[in-house]
């Protein structure tokens, strides 16, 4: 992936003569998935001042992100010894981490920003085979939605509509429609989504809730903060999700609910889990914080139980620009109670039905989520494409276990994890080659210091403990290229089988 900032003279030249080499270059920038091309917002104004119609300009800037003019850019441009226009371009490129400004003029490089012409840009080697491979790169996803978010953010700031607001209500409708369920309630984060859902379901102090130990602590924090007691069952050795065969042995007279976690983007076996819930008259809350868009036979994650809880933390498949979360449910009473809980227990301003929390989703986060939601299915399909390449190129390596994709779960690969005997050593080897990995989660919950008073010991949950010590998460985000994935796989093969492997 390469970034260009296109100087105003390029667009003017293309508008004046659509047959030029410059025009071909701008068209490539608009359509090539390997290029992110940006223009300054005032470029549109310059072109309009030359008599070109908005429709004509719009056809040429489609697919380009516009960097808005602001006081900081003007300040840097005025201080530039290269002149205002060149200084403005250099300042925008530096702030937005765009390494190249493409211009028809001859301009010296400015403060780490390279000024090049169209020919140099077209001939530039944009292959990424030898570049670093990040574990996660959130910046690349911003380009296709930048213009829309910039407009919405300016409206929110102008209206000073920050806490709650129109975008929250609209996102709730749109996410409910996406999940094919009547109600979605935006909250401040995924932990609150779990907590508010449990409280709305009527969980009481002392109730027991069965969940798994190989998850982020937010799952059990929510249970404990609701006054209930987390009870663990181990996970399946292939999917790493809750093992239904172990649930009944943990059910007591205090058990009120099951809380399966759809880990890494793959749904737990909800048919088996719901059958047990019906047999023992238990409620079910789905922790879908890593499973945005996962489905089974047309039903989305979070729609099988009484409610589903989502985190919209920035790194999720559907992530905000900060903290955000959501509860989905078909039960109007649960939805109404979650809305009440997030607003200090208010039914209307200053009228409190109960003690609640300060757990609202803010308008800026909702706007970001609205801009991203239409892209989620495409992003998830890209994740599946990446996973298929990993599966294909890493198969057959002795001692390396690949993820198993269950028939019942539409995996969305929030993470791609492999099981190896030496994950820390493999991670260090890859990092030396500028390939970055992650670990989710290196200590299972039953062995965390926070739960040491429970008295559970090593080997209590052997599959979860193996996951903690032998799983490594490989780079995974929708914009990863085939060459980048190929490089990751080649280095892993070389590590286990020698440099000539593959």
Domain 2-126: assigned CATH number: 3.40.50.1010
How many CB atoms lie under 10 A from the CB of residue 419? 18
106: helix, strand or coil: coil
CA distance 7 to 51: 18
What's CA 320's distance to the chain center, in Å? 8
Identify which of 373, 408, 390 has the alpha carbon closest to the alpha carbon of residue 266.
408
* pLDDT tens by residue, 142-187: 887 888 888 899 899 888 988 888 999 999 999 999 999 999 999 9
**The residue to which tokens 């800037």 are assigned:** 61
Rama region for 109: left / alpha / beta (φ>0; ψ in -120 to 50; rest): beta
**The residue to which tokens 């076996």 are assigned:** 269
Fold of 376-497: 3.90.1150
Q: Phi and psi dihedrals of 205, rounded to 5?
A: -55, 135
* pLDDT tens by residue, 347-390: 889 999 999 999 999 999 999 999 999 999 999 999 999 999 99
Ranges of the chain with pLDDT below 50: 127-129
Query: What local confidence, expressed as pLDDT, does residue 124 receive?
Result: 78
CA distance 413 to 403: 10
How many CB atoms lie under 10 A from the CB of residue 154? 11
The CATH architecture assigned to 147-374 reads: 3-Layer(aba) Sandwich (3.40)
37: helix, strand or coil: strand
The angle, 0 to 180 degrees and rounded to 10, between the axes of the packed helices 8-16 and 41-49 is: 40
Which two structure tokens, joined as six digits, stand for 441?
């989660």
The angle, 0 to 180 degrees and rounded to 10, between the axes of the packed helices 8-16 and 21-31 is: 110
**Is there a contact between 325 and 332 (Cβ–Cβ < 8 Å)?**
no
Query: What local confidence, expressed as pLDDT, does residue 110 receive?
Result: 83
**Is there a contact between 477 and 432 (Cβ–Cβ < 8 Å)?**
no
What is the pTM assigned to this prediction? 0.91
Q: Enumerate the domain spans of the chain.
A: 2-126, 147-374, 376-497
Query: What local confidence, expressed as pLDDT, does residue 318 receive?
Result: 98
Query: What local confidence, expressed as pLDDT, does residue 126 receive?
Result: 52
């Amino acid at each position: 992936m390469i970034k260009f900032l296109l100087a105003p003279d390029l667009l003017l030249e293309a508008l004046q003569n659509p047959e030029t080499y410059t025009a071909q270059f701008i068209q490539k920038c608009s359509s090539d998935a390997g290029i992110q091309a940006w223009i300054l917002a005032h470029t549109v104004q310059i072109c309009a001042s030359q008599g070109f119609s908005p429709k004509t300009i719009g056809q040429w800037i489609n697919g380009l992100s516009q960097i808005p003019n602001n006081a900081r850019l003007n300040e840097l441009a005025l201080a530039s010894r290269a002149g205002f226009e060149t200084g403005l371009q250099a300042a925008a490129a530096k702030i937005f981490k765009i390494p190249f400004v493409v211009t028809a003029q001859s301009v010296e490089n400015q403060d780490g920003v390279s000024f090049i012409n169209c020919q140099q840009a077209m001939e530039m080697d944009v292959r990424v085979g030898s570049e670093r491979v990040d574990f996660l790169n959130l910046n690349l996803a911003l380009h296709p939605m930048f213009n829309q978010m910039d407009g919405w953010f300016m409206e929110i700031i102008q209206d000073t509509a920050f806490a709650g607001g129109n975008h929250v209500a609209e996102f709730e409708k749109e996410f409910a429609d996406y999940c094919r369920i009547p109600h979605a309630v935006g909250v401040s984060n995924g932990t609150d989504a779990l907590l508010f859902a449990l409280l709305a379901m009527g969980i009481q102090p002392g109730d027991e809730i069965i969940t798994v130990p190989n998850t982020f602590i937010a799952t059990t924090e929510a249970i404990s903060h609701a006054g209930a007691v987390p009870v663990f069952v181990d996970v399946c050795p292939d999917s790493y999700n809750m093992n239904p065969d172990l649930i009944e042995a943990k059910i007591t007279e205090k058990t009120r609910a099951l809380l399966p976690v759809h880990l890494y983007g793959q749904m737990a076996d909800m048919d088996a889990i719901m059958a047990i819930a019906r047999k023992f008259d238990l409620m079910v809350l789905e922790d879908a914080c890593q499973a945005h868009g996962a489905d089974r036979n047309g039903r989305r994650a979070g729609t099988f139980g009484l409610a589903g809880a989502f985190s919209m933390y920035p790194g999720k498949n559907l992530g905000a620009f900060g903290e955000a979360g959501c509860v989905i449910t078909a039960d109007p009473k649960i939805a109404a109670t979650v809305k009440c809980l997030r607003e200090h227990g208010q039914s209307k301003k200053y009228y409190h039905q109960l003690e609640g929390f300060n757990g609202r989703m803010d308008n800026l986060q909702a706007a970001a989520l609205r801009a991203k939601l239409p892209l989620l299915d495409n992003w998830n399909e890209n994740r599946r494409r990446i996973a298929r390449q990993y599966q294909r190129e890493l198969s057959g390596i002795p001692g390396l276990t690949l993820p198993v994709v269950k028939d019942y779960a539409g995996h969305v690969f929030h993470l791609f994890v492999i099981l190896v005997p030496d994950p820390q050593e493999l991670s260090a080897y890859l990092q030396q080659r500028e390939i970055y990995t992650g670990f989710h989660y290196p200590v299972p919950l039953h062995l965390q210091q926070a739960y040491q008073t429970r008295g559970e010991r090593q080997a209590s949950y052997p599959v979860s403990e193996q996951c903690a010590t032998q799983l490594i998460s490989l780079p995974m985000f929708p914009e990863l290229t085939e060459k980048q994935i190929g490089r990751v796989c080649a280095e892993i093969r070389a590590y286990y089988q020698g440099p000539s492997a593959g």
